[in-house]
Amino acid sequence: MTLKALKPKVEDIIKRNSASVDERLLDICKLLEEQVSYYNWVGFYFKNGVKNELKLGPYVGEPTDHTIIPFGKGICGQVAVSNKNFIVPDVAAQDNYIACSITVKAEIVIPIFINGENIGQIDIDSNTPDPFTENDERFLEFVCKKVSELMS
């Protein structure tokens, strides 16, 4: 299924008011992980209250010990500070990378904003080297926009 074809499915999940926010976020993770062959771990991290750290939200994929990530640490922590998309074609080449699994080759992290404030991010790991394109980036920005609407 193409990324474009996934957009209405993401919108349908967001509109499903009978489910909790976390259930809908988890369903988005499942949809992306199942439908995009190179999305091998899909999850959300959110700002942990007033602390300068991220807390793991709903996700699918291998279990992770990284349930709390300090701002500035790893790719997710860097996005929490920079407020910018971060695409890592080769995680082995990143000095500030937090390894979750030896199978992970690449990562993409896109921030989620509400009223201009970075409240979290979607984080995707891939076991395929350098799989992410501008299409992934634009699609995940769309997902994050929809998630921000859900959470505001």
Q: Please name the residues in contact with 125: beta carbons below 8 A apart, sequence gap of 6 or more.
A: 40, 41, 61, 100, 101, 104, 106, 107
pLDDT computed for residue 34 by the predictor: 98
Single pTM value for the model: 0.95
pLDDT computed for residue 93 by the predictor: 83
Domain that holds residue 46: 3-151
pLDDT in tens, the chain (152 residues): 799 999 999 999 999 999 999 999 999 999 999 999 999 999 999 999 999 999 999 999 999 989 999 999 999 999 999 999 999 999 888 776 666 677 899 999 999 999 999 999 999 999 999 999 999 999 999 999 999 999 98
pLDDT computed for residue 20 by the predictor: 97
pLDDT computed for residue 92 by the predictor: 83
pLDDT computed for residue 90 by the predictor: 92
Task: Give me the CATH number covering residue 67.
Answer: 3.30.450.40
pLDDT computed for residue 91 by the predictor: 86
The Cα 33–Cα 59 span in angstroms is 10
The Cα 87–Cα 137 span in angstroms is 8
pLDDT computed for residue 12 by the predictor: 98
Number of domains forming the structure of the chain? 1
